[in-house]
Amino acid sequence: MIGIIFGWPSLQYVLQREGYFSYLCDETTGNHTLQNRTEKVCEESEESFNLVFTLSLFSLCIFAVFEGHLLDRFGTWIVRSFGTFLLTLGCILIAVSTPATSWLLYPAMIFMGISGSTFLISNMQVANLAGSQTRGLIITFLNGIFDSGAVVFLIIKSAYDFGYDLKHVFHVYAWCTLFTWLRTFALMPSQRIPFSVTTKNFFYGWKEWVCFKKRYDKTEDPDIFTTDDESAAANIQEVGTTFGDCLRKVLFWSNAFHLSTTSLRINFYFGSFITWIDSFESPSNSSHLTNVFGIMLLCGFIAAPLNGLLVDGVIKFSKIKSLPTRVGLLRAAFASMLMTSVLAILLSVSVITQSSYASFAFLVITRAFVYGGNTTFLAMHFPEQHFGKLYGLTTAIAGTASSLQYALFQLASSVDPTFYFINYSFLVVACLTLVHPLLLSLQEGIKLC
């Protein structure tokens, strides 16, 4: 559920068939195509769909700052309750909407986008239950689950293709969000999971309910949050590092640039997918490719751990070589960020050459590396007490940059309908992302390769 907005191409396909925003293509009918539900698609309609996706994505990223602060200040139950409420509300708004009220898609998708980031931020702390050598793998796996949430809209599209009414499908989906409420209060901690806590005396979820508090009293053992030496050394920042100190580090901003530019490339692909496919594929093949794309997005949870395995593998190798912990972490970050930049370049090349299946594969792998790599980098190189705020700020910066994709789409619609020049520009920008791993390699003169 958490990454559902990235399945937007599948939902857009359905909404176009239902006639949403079709009144923009024929303003003389007056009935907004409610009776025939045409498949009319025009430039104005495509721009409206793209704007819906852009605003939902922008909201996901911008609200991450607020959600990160909410998590650090009030804990998991509060932030997940906020996200679940918005997800349920978003489903209801789409369920009651009609082509005549297409504007309801704006608040509905914005609410769904915001809810996704709340779940992702709160889920990241689960990795704190693991040791330092597997923490990166778990973080990237959780990001992969976020990516695979796109399959929800593919399932909705498949149900629609089988003849089920879109409204009924979203009513069912709204009821399914009750599971998220149950999971929040039954399986998640009320506050946060410290890094790295021993699970022996750490009680969470249903054990924190009032009726179980006496039985699972945390005060029985004053040393609940004990950590081993290896885990304590996993974070290379000093305990007294403030949030302001983190913002003054060059690597924080080079990481933000790396994330922002790669996210813009990825999100422009999502926002313009249907238009891009239709520019060189037959209409009969468009639905098939949309389904294939949705299925490949499901593989995000498979691709994401590749980044974690790379990070954890470099750290283990560094320990075998008896290198300092700081050197091992820098080498791991360098390898992860370098691979992400290379994948972004390959994605841009495949889009330029109009290689549909290759672009699907590189998009899935690039997304798995860029978002998982960003989370791992922040978790390992900055104090854990500032993780929520740093993650939220970095995501907000990337979201602001990604909002440019709507302006780029409008520009392409008028002067570059085949995306020729824009795609070549993205290739150049992808090459510029190599700056971040370069700075990592120069950090304190440490040789990384």
Tokens 């392409």, residue located: 412
What does the pLDDT read at residue 220? 45
The pLDDT confidence band at residue 229, using thresholds 50, 70 and 90, is very low
Q: How far apart are CA 109 and CA 91, in angstroms?
A: 9
Give me the CATH number covering residue 246: 1.20.1250.20
Cis peptide, bond prior to residue 196, ω within 30 of zero: yes
Provide the pLDDT for residue 240. Answer: 57
pLDDT, tens digit, for every residue of 186-195?
777 766 666 5
Considering 283-292, 305-314, 379-388, 420-429, the range whose residues carry the highest mean pLDDT is: 420-429
Query: pLDDT value at position 390?
Result: 84
- Does residue 385 sit within a domain? yes
When mean pLDDT is compared across 81-85, 236-240, 428-432, the lowest value belongs to 236-240
Percent of the chain with pLDDT over 70: 76
Would you state the pLDDT for residue 225? 43
**CA 11 to centroid of chain Cα atoms:** 17
**Is pLDDT larger for residue 145 or for residue 269?**
269
Q: Which residue has the tokens 């639905």?
A: 287
In this predicted structure, the answer to whether residue 196 has a pLDDT above a threshold of 60 is no
At CB < 8 A and 24+ separation, what contacts does 124-128 make? 124/375, 124/379, 124/387, 124/391, 125/76, 125/192, 125/193, 126/193, 127/379, 128/193, 128/194, 128/195, 128/196, 128/197, 128/384
Has this prediction a pTM greater than 0.75?
no
Residue 388 within any structural domain of the chain: yes
pLDDT at position 30: 40
Residues 6+ apart with CB under 8 A from 146: 2, 3, 116, 119, 120, 123, 300, 371
Q: What is d(CA 157, CA 289) in angstroms, rounded to the nearest whole number?
A: 13
The DSSP line for 334-347 is HHHHHHHHHHHHHH
Q: What is the mean pLDDT of residues 136-150?
A: 67
What is the pLDDT at residue 205?
57
Within 10 angstroms of residue 342's Cβ, the number of other Cβ atoms is 16
Higher pLDDT, 191 or 296: 296
Which position has the token pair 């294939």? 292
Name 19's Cβ contacts closer than 8 Å, sequence gap at least 6. Answer: 32, 33, 34, 36, 37, 38, 39, 40, 99
> Do 403 and 54 touch, CB atoms closer than 8 A?
yes
Which band of pLDDT confidence, cut at 50, 70 and 90, is reported for residue 399?
Answer: confident
- What would the two tokens of residue 53 be? 């996706």
Residue 429 placed within a domain: yes
Q: What domain count does the chain have? A: 1
Classify burial at 225, counting beta carbons within 10 Å of its beta carbon; exposed 0-12, middle 13-18, buried 19 or more. middle
Residue of 389, 375, 405 lying closest to 128 (CA atoms): 375
Please give the Cα distance from 349 to 353 (Å, whole number). Answer: 6
Asked if residue 163 is part of any domain, the answer here is: yes
More confident residue, 68 or 238: 68
Task: Look at the chain and count its residues.
Answer: 449
Q: Cα–Cα distance between 446 and 449 in angstroms, integer?
A: 9
Residue of 72 and 13 predicted with greater confidence = 13
Section 206-231 average pLDDT: 50
pLDDT above 80 for 54: yes
Local confidence band at 26 (pLDDT 50, 70, 90 cut-offs): low
Q: CA 414 to CA 411: how far, in whole Å?
A: 5
Residue 161 inside a domain? The answer is yes
Least confident of 25-29, 140-144, 391-395, 427-431: 25-29
List of residues 6+ apart from 173 with CB closer than 8 A: 91, 152, 156
3-state secondary structure of 220: helix
Give the structural domain span for 52.
4-443
Report if residue 414 sits inside a domain.
Answer: yes
Task: Report the C-alpha gap between 323 and 320 in whole angstroms.
Answer: 8
Tell me the CB-side half-sphere exposure of residue 156, using CA atoms within 13 A. 29
- Per-residue pLDDT, averaged over 266-293, amounts to 80
Reported as a single tens digit per residue, the pLDDT across 314-366 is: 877 877 777 767 777 778 888 888 999 999 999 999 999 888 899 988 988 88
Q: Confirm whether 448 is domain-assigned.
A: no
CA atoms within 13 Å, Cβ hemisphere of 330: 20
Q: Which residue has the tokens 């209060």?
A: 185
In this prediction, residues 2-19 reach a mean pLDDT of 81
User: What pLDDT score does 218 carry?
Assistant: 47
Q: Give me the chain's average pLDDT, please.
A: 76
Asked if residue 449 is part of any domain, the answer here is no
Q: What distance separates the 2 farthest-apart alpha carbons in the chain?
A: 75
Burial class (CB in 10 A: 0-12, 13-18, 19+), 211: exposed
